[in-house]
Chains A and B, each alone.
Chain A
Amino acid sequence: MSSLAARASGEVSLETVGRRAEARLVFARGGGATVLTRQHVPYPFHVTRVFRLHPEAPDLASLYLQSASGGLYRSDHLSLAIEARPGARAFVTTQAGTVVHRGGPLPTRQETRVGIGTDAFLAYTPDPLILFPGAHLNVTTEIEAAPGARAILTEGVACHDPTGRDLPFDRLSMSLRIADPAGRTLVRERSALDGEAFTAAASPLGRHRAYGTMILLAPAEILPAPRLLQAEADAFGCLAGASPLPNGAGLGLRLLASDGGRLSAGLEALARLAFRALSGCEPSRRRK
Chain B
Amino acid sequence: MIEPVLADLIALQQGDTAFPSGSFAFSNGIEGLAAQEPGFGEVELARNVSAALDFRWAGTDRVALVLAHRTGADDAVASERLSAIDAAVEAASLSEPMRTGSRRNGASLLAAHARLGTPGAAALRAAVRTGTLFGHLATVQGALWRALGLSEERAASVAGYAFASGLTSAAVRLGLVGAIEAQRVLSGALPRIARILEYPVDDPQDEDIVLTGFTPLIEIAAMRQAQAELRLFAN
Interface residues of A (CB under 8 A from B): 174, 185-193, 197, 201-206, 208, 211, 226-227, 230, 239-247, 252, 254, 256
Q: How far is the CA of A51 from the CA of B169 in the complex (A)?
A: 57
Most buried by A among B47, B211, B216, B224: B216
The answer on a CB contact under 8 Å between B92 and A241 is no
Known pairs A186-B91, A190-B210, A202-B51; A243 contacts B216 (CB<8 A)? no
B227 contacts chain A at the CB level, 8 A cutoff: yes
The answer on a CB contact under 8 Å between B213 and A191 is yes
Within B82-99, the residues touching A (CB, 8 Å) are: 87-88, 90-97, 99
Residues in chain A near residue B213, CB distance under 8 A: 189-191
Interface residues of B (CB under 8 A from A): 36-37, 46-48, 50-51, 54-55, 59, 87-88, 90-97, 99, 210-224, 226-227
Residues in chain B near residue A226, CB distance under 8 A: 223, 227
By beta carbon, the residue of chain B nearest A208 is B217
Q: How far is the CA of A42 from the CA of B96 in the complex (A)?
A: 40
Q: How far is the CA of A133 from the CA of B219 in the complex (A)?
A: 27
The answer on a CB contact under 8 Å between B91 and A188 is yes
Give the Cβ gap from B13 to chain A, nearest Cβ, in Å: 31
The answer on a CB contact under 8 Å between B91 and A241 is no
The answer on a CB contact under 8 Å between A187 and B224 is no
Q: How far is the CA of A247 from the CA of B210 in the complex (A)?
A: 18
A-B contact pairs, 16 of them (CB 8 A): A185-B91, A189-B91, A190-B92, A190-B211, A191-B212, A202-B51, A203-B217, A204-B215, A205-B216, A205-B217, A226-B227, A241-B95, A241-B222, A247-B91, A254-B216, A254-B223
The answer on a CB contact under 8 Å between A211 and B216 is yes
The answer on a CB contact under 8 Å between B220 and A240 is yes
Give the Cβ gap from A79 to chain B, nearest Cβ, in Å: 20
Residues in chain B near residue A244, CB distance under 8 A: 96
What secondary structure prevails in chain A residues at the interface with B?
Answer: strand
The answer on a CB contact under 8 Å between B91 and A187 is yes
The answer on a CB contact under 8 Å between B219 and A241 is yes
By beta carbon, the residue of chain B nearest A187 is B91
Give the Cβ gap from A133 to chain B, nearest Cβ, in Å: 20
Residues in chain A near residue B219, CB distance under 8 A: 241, 254
Given contacts A185-B87, A243-B95, 6 further A-B pairs with CB under 8 A are A187-B91, A190-B210, A202-B50, A203-B51, A204-B54, A241-B221
Q: How far is the CA of A115 from the CA of B215 in the complex (A)?
A: 28
Q: How far is the CA of A254 from the CA of B215 in the complex (A)?
A: 10
By beta carbon, the residue of chain A nearest B90 is A246
Residues in chain B near residue A227, CB distance under 8 A: 227
The answer on a CB contact under 8 Å between A192 and B91 is no
By beta carbon, the residue of chain B nearest A225 is B227
Residues in chain B near residue A185, CB distance under 8 A: 87, 91
By beta carbon, the residue of chain B nearest A254 is B216
Residues in chain B near residue A245, CB distance under 8 A: 94
Q: How far is the CA of A125 from the CA of B50 in the complex (A)?
A: 33
Q: How far is the CA of A186 from the CA of B213 in the complex (A)?
A: 17
The answer on a CB contact under 8 Å between B212 and A190 is yes
Residues in chain A near residue B91, CB distance under 8 A: 185-189, 246-247
Q: How far is the CA of A252 from the CA of B99 in the complex (A)?
A: 13
